[in-house]
Structure 1
């Protein structure tokens, strides 16, 4: 045995040389449920499908024709080694906590495409071996390649190129490519300068409210009003298409065809027609289904009597015999459902349900793509007979790893189910009527209504994005026809309606509601539960400091509203009590009022600075019926270190930040009266607890009355 052979036998990270018929993906890396065909090493095209279990990810391929022939064999071996090998732990130790010994299928493809770009660059310089890529070539390539992209992208490219050297070391026949100089010198000097102070943040913008409002109106209208009509029309269209395909040519069918079609032509009545590639043609399938004639018979009649010209001049509808139940402003939205429109409406119905899910759940696009029929079962009735909550059981995919810490393409079941409100449940039920039991709700196989492409998995993001744009165009045309100019969907000032923008938009709206931050923490599963505990900065990152900047703006405006209300109440003669009353009055006097003003982009930083003023920012707490003049050291709600806002859901009696007005005292007594009413109809132990709570609320109100002062006495 040679020394090289002995080293390979000992070093388990070095792979054996593949044969021409070796599988591109070795069996141990293919999950049991993955049935996609595997490529062979000698093939000119390698499929990455055996590594992809996420239904929302495209089944990408690697085309070796794009790699220069002199370097192809070496690149193939390095790529095969990356697909089936694992980076050494000693190499990963220098890469940071996010480094993985194996990456996902799409990332592997991106890495290999970067390698091919390098190969073409070397080939242009007549370098025919990777071993000819020395330190000088690395430096020249880095200067040329990295200046074209952002700093963050350049850093990713450097990692991918360094992996070429690392995996080459693990191949059975190393090419001898030189280690990139940034591996020893540090990468900073090779990267372009940062172009903004907030580089690296996600720049996805929330949808403009003027866009989101009518878009959601049309989406929910489809789901709630139009779905039954569209599904019935599609079923009837499919039935007619099957009839037409099965019809046999007979004398009787020819006679029936002439008897039905010719009088219409002679009378000048519009003939049933459709549009094929912008050309008006006779609706042959529709006519065949209604008359019992075969396709060939319809074609012969059309040619014999010159019906194509008549149909082009006077195209008529193809009404379906289904009822129309949907309404717009109390009137039927269609005179009849049309054979030609059914496929388009089915596509828009699936899009409308997707929009509803994306916005009203807060799911990531991949999580919506991974939903299956049956994911949201009807709940069992509660003990008291009330209907339970609908929960969505789904998979999530972001940052999911296997036992070895490597990316898991299949994702995993989300530990906390999504809470589904009624419109979401309706959308799921509509999608469940479009696909078989257990199938993906957005299954490509069942959402291609006009052409079958045979794509696997769910509709991909690019397809869904195009369908949303098409849905907007349809809705605007329909709004114009229906005279609903106020429901037109305008163009978003921040560009296309991308799928990820729905999730960001929901966070923006929920956060401002009472208890909204807690709702976000529960629903999103990882968002901050207090305003400044930025535990979710990875999700929240956007331009201008991410979603947290938006929350800061909204919270600052809410705090200003609270201060304004306190000023108004004091000006109206109400008294103020509480250990923080003096601080609250000072804060209210110095806090500007925001009424109907436009908040500019620059306000985000001012809002953050405003909230950081410890002790003089006022937070309304309608659940505890008080104002919190939040001062971190006084807070009994145990805020996080450095927090600038209270845990409003954990407000505790006796806190040194408490402030109450006469209005709060009145509301305390009203709530106590409500509890007494409940107690009168509750069982003994429950009634006792309710009355105890009512007495406590009245004592709190009495304490206010006895300790409250007018503002003049406190300032």
Structure 2
């Protein structure tokens, strides 16, 4: 056992815990953390005291899964990991990704790997960690790392096993487990071959265009047009519920109950107010009836039994309409006749999901960052001296890769030095959530977003819960589209699976880079986003010490440019001609454009993408809405790009710009569009038809000009 003198001499070695020692020492628990702690002797150690990220799932370490012979030794080294710090000399030898203290999720993964090793050793009759020889290390590591995992995952596994040895050296009673051989020999022989692609945020697939278009349309519609109705209905439901719970029965309330219910049972065609019970069956809406009549629950129950109203409610279920005005409109008609008592909490869940979708998609925040937003995070800006108003800013925390001055993970994150810039739909979404929670509370507070039971949860809604609410919102939107006969607004299933939360950030970058003028881009709003992002209101917009949304956008833009370059080379190689003042520059840029096989996922990808985009004049941007390719050069662009922009304002593309390039395929598309406009003109009033025909003639003129001046790629380059 380590002596007190030894502990004082080596500050990295922890004293021996006793059975009543805290599972997590107080020095590692933040002041606002209220999660329960364990004792060293307990069989379950919750990780909550180390977790301050809103909405994080709280995992536990279960010692029942550890072989009995190895439990005491593994328990001590795990406690040392949870409460200690690796030596700086060890960390420096392991590379920049290693920290003296990791986050709670990383520690849990290390524990699970150590537990797997303990069971493996137990199966081979090794009853002490000190009995794990170099041969055991090699056999176990080879079996784990060559069992189908990626090279990066295998490297993480080896690092976790090395940490077992390192933390054992820091425990008060080291087990004597030997140092893994790869720490001395190198890890290459223990790693599988490098795969062509890897994981990471950049591999997340964007949502399909057919999905995100109607999804975002419904989300904004609910936030901006239906929120007042839903919030009013929710307030009325809460008022009625409180009234029913506080009411005591009187002779007058019994008389009111009889006047309300007796006529309902008198005729077979009268409907009885009904609700769906906890077990799923239809039953009498006792809370609604009690609140409506002023009767007590006991009076309602006795009356229902006497007159068989529960049976009648199941046979003839009727509505429980809330007396709130309906102001929202769909296609000029009220979206509902009324909102029902039991419908209000369902709609509140959908409203919160809609606001979350708007914030996630139109800011580019990570899900954790949205979960950490609080009421008051987006104050109204002060008017400028010239009478104009500045953009709304969102002040928030970020959590990914946040460390303290010693390199230790900080679970609570830190406030962003540069706030997010919010466009109007995002501001509306935040304002709606602020009407649900108290001032200063998390916008997605679990307690205040639990509309059914109002349970005293802590923190923010978890990602799994939010993802389910998004799916419930999609189901609601599709029911509304069907009810209002709007097939064009149905949200289809995404071909790549569940919508989730993480895909919105990537989808934002995809559509800014590839579809800036389409329905999904919401033209003006996305124009603002592109302007904000390209202007880099500071070098860290969407960032603090990491690429942030810039990295995702830059990578997606480079992908789009690479696809555009490849398509241009393919078309011209197939014999298509090319026109435009920038034709030579476009072909030269296409030959220099990067090629991608698989997915761009390396840590240096965002930096390389930003450098490539800085090659002014050589990056190609496809603009299908304007039937051209833009060989963007800032000095000659007519779309009024922001200072320092690395991409055009494609939604503001101007005829006659010197950056425009067209191929024969573009000319063909121009004529197809002109024919479509002519067909439309035949079925519209004359003034509108004349404008359509004029636009069609203009498009044919552009195509004719291309045909007259277009050259082959060989002619352009020589």
Tell me by how many angstroms 1:105 deviates: 1.5
| TM-score, normalising length: structure 1 | 0.77
1:61-111 Cα shifts (integer Å, max 9, x gaps): 222222233322212211110111111122112211111000012211221
Given that 1:319 and 1:338 are in contact with CA atoms closer than 8 Å, whether structure 2 keeps it comes out as yes
Q: Do the aligned partners of residues 232 and 179 (structure 1) sit closer, same or farther apart at CA in structure 2, a change above 3 Å counting?
A: same
- What SS does the aligned partner of 2:447 have? helix
Partner in structure 1 of residue 441 of structure 2: 439
Tell me by how many angstroms 1:299 deviates: 1.8
Given that 2:198 and 2:599 are in contact with CA atoms closer than 8 Å, whether structure 1 keeps it comes out as no
Given that 1:168 and 1:174 are in contact with CA atoms closer than 8 Å, whether structure 2 keeps it comes out as yes
Partner in structure 1 of residue 252 of structure 2: 252
Given that 2:513 and 2:557 are in contact with CA atoms closer than 8 Å, whether structure 1 keeps it comes out as no
User: Is 1:520 the equivalent of 2:519?
Assistant: no
Given that 1:520 and 1:527 are in contact with CA atoms closer than 8 Å, whether structure 2 keeps it comes out as no
1:27-47 Cα shifts (integer Å, max 9, x gaps): 222223323333221222222
Partner in structure 1 of residue 150 of structure 2: 150
CA distance in 2, matches of 1:662, 1:546: 28
- What SS does the aligned partner of 2:170 have? coil
Given that 2:535 and 2:642 are in contact with CA atoms closer than 8 Å, whether structure 1 keeps it comes out as no
Tell me by how many angstroms 1:19 deviates: 1.5
Partner in structure 1 of residue 265 of structure 2: 265
Tell me by how many angstroms 1:527 deviates: 8.8
Partner in structure 2 of residue 43 of structure 1: 42
CA distance in 2, matches of 1:553, 1:404: 41
Given that 1:559 and 1:620 are in contact with CA atoms closer than 8 Å, whether structure 2 keeps it comes out as no
- What SS does the aligned partner of 1:419 have? strand
1:612-640 Cα shifts (integer Å, max 9, x gaps): 9x999576899xxxx9978xxxx999xxx
1:649-694 Cα shifts (integer Å, max 9, x gaps): 4599xxxxxxxx99459x9xxxxxxxxxxxxxxxxxxxxxxxxxxx
User: Is 1:547 the equivalent of 2:556?
Assistant: yes
CA distance in 2, matches of 1:135, 1:109: 25
Q: Do the aligned partners of residues 316 and 400 (structure 1) sit closer, same or farther apart at CA in structure 2, a change above 3 Å counting?
A: same
Instruction: Map 1:276-675; keep pairs closer than 5 Å.
Output: 276=277, 277-512=279-514, 513=516, 519-520=532-533, 536=547, 547=556, 550-553=559-562, 556=565, 583-584=584-585, 617=618, 649-650=643-644, 663=656
- What SS does the aligned partner of 2:379 have? coil
Given that 1:393 and 1:418 are in contact with CA atoms closer than 8 Å, whether structure 2 keeps it comes out as yes
**CA-based RMSD:** 4.0
Range that drifts further, 180-189 or 329-338 = 180-189
Given that 1:562 and 1:619 are in contact with CA atoms closer than 8 Å, whether structure 2 keeps it comes out as no
Given that 2:249 and 2:299 are in contact with CA atoms closer than 8 Å, whether structure 1 keeps it comes out as yes
Tell me by how many angstroms 1:539 deviates: 8.0
Q: Do the aligned partners of residues 429 and 559 (structure 1) sit closer, same or farther apart at CA in structure 2, a change above 3 Å counting?
A: farther
Partner in structure 1 of residue 166 of structure 2: 166
Q: Do the aligned partners of residues 496 and 166 (structure 1) sit closer, same or farther apart at CA in structure 2, a change above 3 Å counting?
A: same
1:261-301 Cα shifts (integer Å, max 9, x gaps): 12101223111111123311111111111112222222222
CA distance in 2, matches of 1:397, 1:236: 38
Q: Do the aligned partners of residues 292 and 493 (structure 1) sit closer, same or farther apart at CA in structure 2, a change above 3 Å counting?
A: same
Tell me by how many angstroms 1:137 deviates: 2.4
- What SS does the aligned partner of 1:450 have? coil
CA distance in 2, matches of 1:524, 1:117: 49
CA distance in 1, matches of 2:392, 2:414: 20
CA distance in 1, matches of 2:66, 2:535: 49
Q: Do the aligned partners of residues 515 and 237 (structure 1) sit closer, same or farther apart at CA in structure 2, a change above 3 Å counting?
A: closer
Q: Do the aligned partners of residues 381 and 435 (structure 1) sit closer, same or farther apart at CA in structure 2, a change above 3 Å counting?
A: same
- What SS does the aligned partner of 1:445 have? coil
CA distance in 2, matches of 1:517, 1:88: 45
- What SS does the aligned partner of 1:508 have? helix
CA distance in 1, matches of 2:199, 2:621: 35
Given that 1:562 and 1:620 are in contact with CA atoms closer than 8 Å, whether structure 2 keeps it comes out as no
Task: Identify unmatched segments of 5+ residues in structure 1.
Answer: 530-534, 571-575, 592-599, 638-646, 653-660, 668-709
CA distance in 2, matches of 1:363, 1:387: 24
Given that 1:49 and 1:60 are in contact with CA atoms closer than 8 Å, whether structure 2 keeps it comes out as yes
Given that 1:515 and 1:649 are in contact with CA atoms closer than 8 Å, whether structure 2 keeps it comes out as no
Tell me by how many angstroms 1:363 deviates: 0.7
- What SS does the aligned partner of 2:45 have? strand
Tell me by how many angstroms 1:305 deviates: 1.5
Given that 2:12 and 2:87 are in contact with CA atoms closer than 8 Å, whether structure 1 keeps it comes out as yes
Tell me by how many angstroms 1:553 deviates: 4.1
CA distance in 2, matches of 1:212, 1:585: 32
Partner in structure 2 of residue 217 of structure 1: 217
Tell me by how many angstroms 1:12 deviates: 1.3
Partner in structure 2 of residue 674 of structure 1: none
CA distance in 1, matches of 2:344, 2:384: 40
CA distance in 2, matches of 1:21, 1:604: 50
| TM-score, normalising length: structure 2 | 0.77
Q: Do the aligned partners of residues 305 and 553 (structure 1) sit closer, same or farther apart at CA in structure 2, a change above 3 Å counting?
A: farther
User: Is 1:188 the equivalent of 2:188?
Assistant: yes
Q: Do the aligned partners of residues 26 and 353 (structure 1) sit closer, same or farther apart at CA in structure 2, a change above 3 Å counting?
A: same
- What SS does the aligned partner of 2:438 have? coil
- What SS does the aligned partner of 2:127 have? coil
Partner in structure 1 of residue 20 of structure 2: 21
Partner in structure 2 of residue 689 of structure 1: none
Q: Do the aligned partners of residues 648 and 245 (structure 1) sit closer, same or farther apart at CA in structure 2, a change above 3 Å counting?
A: closer
CA distance in 1, matches of 2:249, 2:432: 38
CA distance in 2, matches of 1:278, 1:515: 48
Task: Identify unmatched segments of 5+ residues in structure 2.
Answer: 517-526, 602-608, 624-628, 636-640, 647-653, 661-708
- What SS does the aligned partner of 1:273 have? strand
Partner in structure 2 of residue 62 of structure 1: 61
Q: Do the aligned partners of residues 187 and 219 (structure 1) sit closer, same or farther apart at CA in structure 2, a change above 3 Å counting?
A: same
Given that 1:102 and 1:407 are in contact with CA atoms closer than 8 Å, whether structure 2 keeps it comes out as yes
CA distance in 2, matches of 1:547, 1:16: 51
1:346-368 Cα shifts (integer Å, max 9, x gaps): 00100000000000011111111
Tell me by how many angstroms 1:472 deviates: 1.0
Q: Do the aligned partners of residues 233 and 528 (structure 1) sit closer, same or farther apart at CA in structure 2, a change above 3 Å counting?
A: closer
